[in-house]
Amino acid sequence: MQRFLGQSAVVTGGASGIGRAVAARLEREGARVCVWDRRFLTLAAADDGRLHISVDVTDAQAVNLAAKTTLDWSGRIDILVNSAGITGPNAATWEYGLEDWRRVIDVNLTGLFHCCRSIVPAMRAEGYGRVVNVASIAGKEGNPNASAYSASKAGVIALTKSLGKELAGDGVVVNAVTPTAIKTDLFDQMKPSFIDYMLSRIPMGRFGEVDEAASLICWLASRECSFSTAAVFDLSGGRATY
C-alpha cells in the first residue's frame, strides 16, 4: 500500500517509541519523512529519502528553522505528527518540583504549539494537511502522581479541538490520539509502582504496542480521514469511558 506516495511528513520525537514506528510506516507507505528529535547529534542529515533534524521543540526559533529546512528539502509538508513528549517524575502535586513542572509543560504542550504554529501556514497555503497530536488517556482522566503530564496532555486535547475548528474550512484536519500506556522507553522515566497502576486500569490486561498506535495515527494522517477534525481517538484497551 502506497497511500502516502508523493507526500512529505514531519514526525517529532521520531527517534524512538511511537514516533519511530509512525515514521517507519509512513516511509514504508511512500512518504518522504523528516524526523525531528533532540537526540540527533548532527543539525541535519539526509539518508535514503529521510531527513533527520536535531531540534528542541521547546525552542521556537529552532522549530522555525527546522520547518524552513524541511520545506527546502521537500517543497511541502502534508503531514505533521506531534509525538515528542516526556513523562516527568512521579510525585504528588504539592511535592512536584517547579522546574520539573515547567519542563513537562514546555515539551508536551508548548513544544507541540510551536510545531503547529510553524508548519500549519505551509499546509494552509497548499490547501491540504493532516495534523495528528499524540495526547494521552491521562489528559482525559488525570493520573495520580502525574499532574504535569496529565495537565499537559489535557492541554494537547484542547489545542487540537481549537486548531481543528480554526482550520475546518482550509483542507487541513487536526486530530488527537489518547493512548493508554504504550510500552516504550518512556517507561524508564516511571516508577515500577506507577507502571503497575497503569496496567491495572486496562481491561484488556496488557499495554499497547507501538505498531498499534502507528496504525491509528497513520489512518488519521491519510486522505481517508476526511470528515473527522478536532476529534479525539482512544487507544486504551477499554480503559476510556468517554
- Is-catalytic flag, 149? yes
Instruction: Count the neighbouring beta carbons within 10 Å of the beta carbon of residue 100.
Output: 14
**Cα–Cα distance for residue pair 68/116, rounded to 1 Å:** 13
Rounded CA separation 53/147 (Å): 31
**Separation CA 222–CA 162 (nearest Å):** 21
Measured distance CA(215)–CA(14) in Å, rounded = 15
Which residue in 128, 149, 197, 242 is the catalytic one?
149
Can you tell me the distance from the alpha carbon of 148 to that of 8, in angstroms, rounded to the nearest whole number? 33
* Integer angstrom CA distances of residue 224 from 27, 217, 221, 227: 17, 12, 8, 9
Residue 208: beta bridge partners? 182
Q: Are 115 and 174 in contact (CB under 8 A)?
A: no
How far apart (Å, rounded) are the C-alpha atoms in residues 173 and 167?
7
**Grid-cell match 512529505, residue found:** 8
Contact by Cβ (8 Å): 239, 201: yes
**Residues labelled catalytic:** 149
